[in-house]
Amino acid sequence: MKRFRWGMIGGGKGAFIGGAHRIAAKIANSYELIGGVFDVNFERAKEFAFEEDIDLKRVYPDIDAFITSENKMPSSERIQVVSIVTPNYLHFEHAKKLLSNGYHVICEKPVTLSSTEAVELKEIAIKKGLVFCLTHTYTGYPMVREMKRRIEAGDIGVIQRVDAQYLQGWVNPIIHGGNARLSVWRLDPKVAGISSCMGDIGVHAFNMVEYATGLMVKEVLAVLSTLKPENTLDLDGNVLLRFDENLTGVIRSSQIATGEENNIQISVYGTKGAFHWEQENPNILKMMHEGAPSEIITPGYDYLSSFARDSHVLPPGHPEGIYEAFGNLYKGAAMAIRGEQTVPGQFPGIDEGIRGMQFIEAAVRSNKEGNRWVSI
């Protein structure tokens, strides 16, 4: 099986999530890093490429230089798929240029700065027949996939409550640290977009809600907080969800929940039972039953769904984690690029990107307009 010639935009030296993408690509065993625009600083990009043993001729100062040079290569040498791991405001421009020129795209969330931009990307991807993978990482965990399949199979009956949270505390010292906030791009609306907390992490919780339940949220009512008037963007928020007249839910999300690390959790309650999963203990899926003891479900067993089994390589008791979850998305994207059959939920795509942007926009609007219900 040949590896795809793979490029990256962003993700160079010192970047947070770029390294996870490279490990994911390695785990998927379907990509070889050939070149890219690894850094906003060209010299640092070249240092990175040297350390990674990448041909310096394939290191570019910007996206236009990348496209001009790569397009001139024979198709047998040209980069085929590109991951975008830059700050949010660059995703749309880079994805649009890449898709328009025939490159498959793997993109970080939030996919763009608006749902209109996300819809435009979808149209280009469809027109060009290209794969677009959106790295909502947590959908790659085997126990999340097991939960999804069991909910689809009706194992907990009809869903009657959904409760999700994504709590972090890392912004707390920054926000109380004088001008420290000015060096954090996630707090700058020109770079991050219209929301910090909902845009950066609330959107993961929203994606998890729709992924796990298979249901679509129809309306949201948001109460967001900037904590201090000098902060432009929300740092904390509670968002009520309405799926239909009988089913509601909630997303609680914060970047100032002091002491919290990366605490994304979901509970889905049905008429017969419930599921609970949390990212900080990702190999445990708790299944609760009406009138019977709870079960603890863990990866690596034959009795799991084929989707969960295929998402975990090692035997039971050998914990896999975030890199493998990322790797599962990269595996799914590679299957789609090869034209192989994928299963529902194999990797999030541009539709999930559009939903995410609609969620962020609706939450911000609801908060601004007096905490009223806003449809998605």
The residues of the shown chain that bind ligand NAD, judged by CB under 6 A, are 9-12, 15-18, 37, 39-40, 85-88, 90, 108-109, 135, 137, 200
- Least separation, in Å, of the C-beta of 345 and ligand NAD? 17
The Cα–Cα gap between 252 and 95 comes to 30
Of the two residues 5 and 109, which places its CB atom closer to ligand NAD in the complex?
A: 109
- Least separation, in Å, of the C-beta of 365 and ligand NAD? 21
Contacts 24+ apart (CB under 8 A), 89-94: 89/113, 89/190, 89/191, 89/192, 89/193, 90/9, 90/10, 92/117, 92/118, 92/120, 92/121, 93/63, 94/9, 94/63
Structure tokens at 69: 């040079």
Are the C-beta atoms of 270 and 156 separated by less than 8 Å?
Answer: yes
- Least separation, in Å, of the C-beta of 46 and ligand NAD? 13
Are the C-beta atoms of 241 and 222 separated by less than 8 Å?
Answer: no
Q: Which residue is nearest to ligand NAD (CB)?
A: 10
- The backbone torsions φ and ψ at residue 127, rounded to the nearest 5 degrees and listed phi first, read -60, -40
Are the C-beta atoms of 332 and 133 separated by less than 8 Å?
Answer: yes
- Least separation, in Å, of the C-beta of 37 and ligand NAD? 4
- Least separation, in Å, of the C-beta of 169 and ligand NAD? 16
Of the two residues 14 and 315, which places its CB atom closer to ligand NAD in the complex?
A: 14
Of the two residues 141 and 269, which places its CB atom closer to ligand NAD in the complex?
A: 141
The Cα–Cα gap between 208 and 217 comes to 12
The Cα–Cα gap between 343 and 119 comes to 23
Of the two residues 84 and 337, which places its CB atom closer to ligand NAD in the complex?
A: 84
- Least separation, in Å, of the C-beta of 96 and ligand NAD? 14
Of the two residues 39 and 70, which places its CB atom closer to ligand NAD in the complex?
A: 39
Of the two residues 109 and 355, which places its CB atom closer to ligand NAD in the complex?
A: 109
